[in-house]
Structure 1
Amino acid sequence: MGKRVLAILVALMLVFGIAENSFSQQKNPSREEVEKLIEEVATKRGIPSVILKCIAKLESGFRQFDSNGNPFVSKGGYIGIMQISEKETEYNLEKLKYDPVYNIEAGANHLLKKWAWVNNEMTQVGNMDPNILEHWYFTLWAYNGLLERNNPNVNSSTYQARIYETALKEYNQEITPISKKSMPSRGGRLHRNINIPTPEVYHEGDIIKYTPNDIVIPDTMEKADGKDPLVLYDGPKGNAIGTVKEDQTMTILEGPALKRGFYFYKVKVNEDERIGWVYGNWIVKLMDNF
């Protein structure tokens, strides 16, 4: 393993080791500490941090544990800060319960799966640039369930509206709602391949974008059966041509290229000089001081 890769892995272990230690007594630390963890995960995963923080605030009030020190599990078997269902067997159940960083990462992964599904199967907003907060409207709807209660023509207090209220109240962040005229009069699912224009007044998030010559490494989600591989594609959202190992480094050549709601980067795998494209959500930059 290269020295730079080893250095950043040690640094990450120290950061998250400190975080895990603060939860080691199964007591919730301060809201500020939890929000910092959420911001770090959002940065890695290419999600506007205010979106992920508002979900956590609404879902659990930032709680991983209850007042007795037990994992916070709500009715229906939803676990921890991000309220991930115990039925989602792709995740490590014990880590969902006792590891807040893992719970937050699972929440980010769950949100990205909903984002991908909306981009492929549901109504989109504008060009679905993920750094435009208004573009997450239908993904938030899907995160809470494609239910009629989240249709603003049926219920004024939808999940999306409550997220927007939380963003304004807690973070002074305005998000323009999608017009009710764009919604069906009833039901909880919108039609496929319909595009709604981005609201005239829109707001940008804080997604970090990489630039040519940045050095990055894989950082994929750990599942119950191990980490997902970082897949190398022949183009943005193209055909898979291989994978990148966890201890390999990559140099950014081009990007970001927006395709179906995701940022892609053209990279060179430094160890074997393969060239391809990767999702920006599953890589992290090696800092200049490593």
Structure 2
Amino acid sequence: MFKKALPIFLVLSLFLGSFGPANSLAEETYDIPTYNETNKLLTDAALAHNIPPEIVKTLAYQESGWNQFKDGKPYVAPDGGIGIMQVTNDDRFDENLLKTDIKYNIDAGLQKLDEKFRGVDGKLPTLNNNDRDILESWYFAILAYNGRVEENSPLKLTTDGSRNAAAYQEKFFRLMNDSFYIGMDIHPIPFDFKPEDFTYSGAPDHLLSFNKSNYQIPEHLLHKTEHKFTQNDILLSADSANFRAAPTSLSKSLKDLPSGEREAVRVLDKSFAYDQSNQYGLADDKMRFRQYVWYKVEMQDGRTAYTASSDLKHLGKRLYGKTRYDTAVSISQEGWKDGADTVVLAYGEDFPDALAGTPLAYQLDAPMLLTKVNSLPDSTKAEIRRLKPKKAYILGGTGAVSKNVETELKQLGIIEISRLGGKTRFETANEIAMHMPNKGDKAVLAYGRNFPDALAIAPYAARNGYPILLTETNKIPAATATILKGFSKTLVAGGFGVISDNAIANLNTIRFRGTDRFGTNADIVKNLEMGSEQAFVATGYNFADALTGAVLAAKKNSHLLLTPPASIKDPIRATILEKKYDHFQFLGGKSVVGIENELGKMIER
């Protein structure tokens, strides 16, 4: 922080106070925490304040070398900074506790840093959407923690626009890059600074003001905290990573990747483990730069190991369960963490009635859950209890989902139950379309005897309010044809083999097609724009996971990609590379969507 000299009366009072009773501050001797203990204190406090631990631990080291005490005494710097976070010039905090209580000192420092980030004492420039988990987002808050002064200008005090390497925040990110998180390649941050972005007050205060409110940096150049990975996250390991038997580099190596190779792994626990090198007799002073943590993971060969967080890359998350019903629940828990007013129920053993359900579920902000004919699976019941909905929509007639399920829904507290079903799958799709609260000017037409094409286009249709209607190959059912007349254009999902030109001859259409389901999927994704840089991935050979996942994909403004279990088809591969997707939600277990390692190699090229 920017420090001011202590008033002379305060210096004298501190000096005179040292002659107090035997238990006075001056005569106390304090235990100095080990680096391992300090690492835990800083990390836990950072997470509690929703600040990346990488930021907090680097800041504490730059401020004090992680010293709350020196020689058993409270550490007070010559400029008045107190303790590990060098807190000063703030009457809100108890000075004695700042000196004697490391947790209190850390909390005080992080409160001040958080206030800088949020602009409590004056707005600072932001980066992109100001994501707190992005390390570079804290650049200006770190500057302000030390002081909004001319010497911390990102540019030298000249008009040539050269970077000011001596600025506090520049030294901070250099320290993070070179010592704390080697290999992160976080410095220098590629801000597009210009001399006109800053104003300098000159003497006597030498203050720095900001003329630009926001900077934009491509997301692939940014770094996210490595302390918030959680269970079932898919991570791409470091280049030539070592997988260990315990959370320390001193433990037995279970696998060493060759140079230039990374491996996609799945996180097994809900949180990380701290480095245990100190338990192996490593000297405490060597713990200083072991700021990283460890994750227990499942390797590609199915074995369990630990890998260090340093240089890990988040590839995505696997949403799955033991059965298709459980996977639907996992998808619901990911997308509707705080509950839902409405749920949509579909028969879990066949697809026809639910094919058209994605746009409706999206507009109702309702997860799609699966049911058996005569009863709700236990996992579905438990999820409904968690969601606490008041309404439910059942897709299909009583032959697919019996009235027994309606009774169970009422027993779970659902007040209003609506059934959308007809005598055929085509009529059911029409019913669903008619109950959509908001409809766009276009409709989607898909083949009603198979699922891939309808599911591939479902997220896009849902986002745009386009109902999904179903057809036979050579003739559109009469009722469906009547409905289609009310739309200005029809998006046809599938090639001539599934929907003939004769069937759509009287419609204003745009057709999306490929040589197979994967080619059609690729054509849809390439030509129908959605805003997210991530994609959802599901098996192209079964409907259940893609069916329930399509609603979440729509909610996340993401496309759905279909794949065989163990390899990526060429049209989908080309689409991923063209769209530059670098994050993926894997719908289903590894046995049905096991392409994470292949994806990892693709995006690292």
The TM-score with structure 1 as length reference comes to 0.59
1:202-217 equivalence runs, <5 A: 202-206=222-226, 208=228
Distance 1:110 1:131 in 2: 18
How many angstroms does 1:126 deviate by?
0.5
Which of the pair has more CA radius of gyration?
A: 2
Alignment match, 1:170: 180
Q: Cα distance, 1:121 vs. partner?
A: 1.6
State the match for 2:93 in structure 1.
91
Deviation at 1:53, TM superposition (A): 0.4
2:34 to 30, 42, 46: 30
Q: Quick one: structure 1 residues 102 and 43, their matched pair in 2 at CA, closer, same or farther if it must change by over 3 Å? A: same
Counterpart of 2:217 in structure 1 is 198
Structure 1 residue 185: Cα displacement:
5.9
Q: How big is the shift at 1:25? A: 4.4
Give the counterpart of 2:77 among 74, 79, 100.
74
- State the Cα distance separating 1:209 from its structure 2 match: 9.3
Task: Answer yes or no: is the 8 Å Cα contact 1:122–1:190 preserved in 2.
Answer: yes
Give the C-alpha shift of residue 149 in structure 1: 1.0
| Aligned equivalents of 1:117, 1:80: Cα separation in 2 | 24
Rounded to whole Å, the distance in 2 between the matches of 1:52 and 1:75 is 22
C-alpha root-mean-square deviation of aligned residues, in Å?
2.8
| Percent of matched pairs sharing the same residue | 32
Report the CA distance between 1:198 and its aligned residue: 2.7
Residue number among 52, 58, 62 corresponding to 2:56 in the alignment: 52
CA distances 1:37-96 after superposition (whole Å, capped 9, x unpaired): 1001011111000100011000000001122x22111123210000000x3111121111
Asked if 2 retains the 8 angstrom alpha-carbon contact of 1:175 and 1:203, the reply is yes
Given that residues 131 and 206 in structure 1 are in contact (C-alpha distance below 8 angstroms), is that contact kept between their aligned partners in structure 2? no
Tell me which amino acid in the other structure corresponds to 1:132.
Answer: I
Q: How many residues align?
A: 189
The answer for the alignment partner of 1:181 in structure 2 is: 193
Quick check: 1:253 aligned with 2:264? no
CA distance 1:199–1:134, change in 2 (3 Å): farther
Secondary structure of the 2:119 match is helix
Describe the shift of the 1:72–1:138 C-alpha distance in structure 2 as closer, same or farther (beyond 3 A). Answer: same
Q: Cα–Cα, structure 1 residues 207 and 30, in superposed 2: closer, same or farther, change >3 Å?
A: closer
Distance in 1, matches of 2:210 and 2:60, equals 25
Q: Which runs of 5 or more structure 2 residues have no equivalent in the other structure?
A: 1-27, 157-163, 201-207, 231-336, 340-605
Give per-residue Cα distances to partners, 1:225-252, cap 9 Å, x unaligned.
xxxxxxxxxxxxxxxxxxxxxxxxxxx7
1:171 is displaced (CA, Å) by 2.3
| Corresponding residue of 2:46 | 42
The two structures have a TM-score, normalised by structure 2, of: 0.29
Deviation, structure 1 residue 163: 1.2
Structure with more relative contact order (C-alpha pairs < 8 Å, separation 6 or more): 1
Q: Is the 8 A contact 2:115 2:121 kept in 1?
A: no
Q: Is the 8 A contact 1:26 1:65 kept in 2?
A: yes
Which residue does the alignment assign to 2:168? 159
Amino acid across the alignment from 2:166: S
Instruction: Spell out structure 1 runs of 4+ moving beyond 6 A.
Output: none
1: CA distance, partners of 2:120 / 2:151: 18
SS where residue 189 of structure 1 aligns?
A: strand
- Cα distance between partner residues in 2 of 1:121 and 1:47: 18
